[in-house]
Amino acid sequence: MVRRQNGTLVVVMLASHFRRPVARVLCLAVSLMASAATQPTQVLRWSEGQPGCAFQASDDGTYRYALATDDFVVTLAMDGQELEKARRRIEPVLGLFLSVRFLKQNPLRLVPDRSTLEFVKHFQEKQAPLDSGRLVIDLQERDKKETQTAARNIQKHPEKKDEIEAALKAQQQNTSRMIAWVHTKTLQDAPGKNGEVSGWLLFAARNRWIGDLHRQEEFLLRVPLGNVVVEFPFTLPPSQGDIRLRTRTAE
């Protein structure tokens, strides 16, 4: 039907013009959207002293934050010097170790790729975990370029051959170790036989949005479990408050 409204021709589609199958599909879509809207996401944030929240600092410098519910226990572990180690890696990558122990028969769905790490001091930039396959390819390509560069440098400076080859060998060893780490240690979504899944979440520690890191950084890790999001706020290196908390825990 065509109507004139304020001097403009307007096409009006009546409901009767839709075929019944199309109408049913539209109704189903609206129903699903309404159903999704009635299931809000619950946010659980780690906070010192709150029920289910625990903190532990080991003598080796590892910090662990745990959040427990009736359905699961999530533990975040990190090296207190991880920020400095990330800067020294051949690829600036920040590693966080996460473990989830499910306490019921039908565990909530864990999708590691949907986790995010917020860099609070960098305009609250949020980063998804690095794709392990893409990261391995990037490391292999970098290793190939380093090998080609070394070959050219040896041609230009044959007197430095031993020095260049030694540096290349050390670089290749570091690359191999990092590739093995990425291949075998990153977090998977399927729980093991004991109802527990654990592994590393790897995040880019530098890109055009993050820029240079500060001496101390504030982070917020968000881990979705079904319709629940578990949040861990933390700082690296640990703040003075964390050190005091560590002393109380040790006692």
pLDDT of residue 242: 60
CA dist 113 and 111 (Å) reads 6
Q: Give yes or no: residues 59 and 86 share one domain.
A: yes
Q: Give yes or no: residues 56 and 25 share one domain.
A: no
Q: Give yes or no: residues 46 and 86 share one domain.
A: yes
- Overall number of domains in the chain: 2
Q: Could you tell me if residue 135 is inside a domain?
A: no
pLDDT of residue 250: 36
Q: Give yes or no: residues 109 and 54 share one domain.
A: yes
Q: Give yes or no: residues 59 and 32 share one domain.
A: no
Domain span at 27: 2-37
**42-45/228-236 β-pairing:** parallel
CA distances (Å), origin 91, targets 82, 86, 130, 141, 175: 13, 8, 12, 12, 9
pLDDT (tens digit per residue) in 116-166: 999 998 887 899 999 989 989 999 998 999 999 999 999 999 999 999 999
Task: Say which CATH number the domain at 51 has.
Answer: 2.60.40
- The alpha-carbon radius of gyration of the chain (Å, integer) is 26
CA dist 122 and 42 (Å) reads 26
Q: Give yes or no: residues 119 and 16 share one domain.
A: no
CA distances (Å), origin 190, targets 48, 158, 196, 221: 30, 52, 9, 20
pLDDT (tens digit per residue) in 202-239: 999 887 777 787 888 999 999 999 889 999 999 998 87
Q: Give yes or no: residues 195 and 118 share one domain.
A: yes
User: Which residue(s) pair with 186 in the sheet?
Assistant: 200
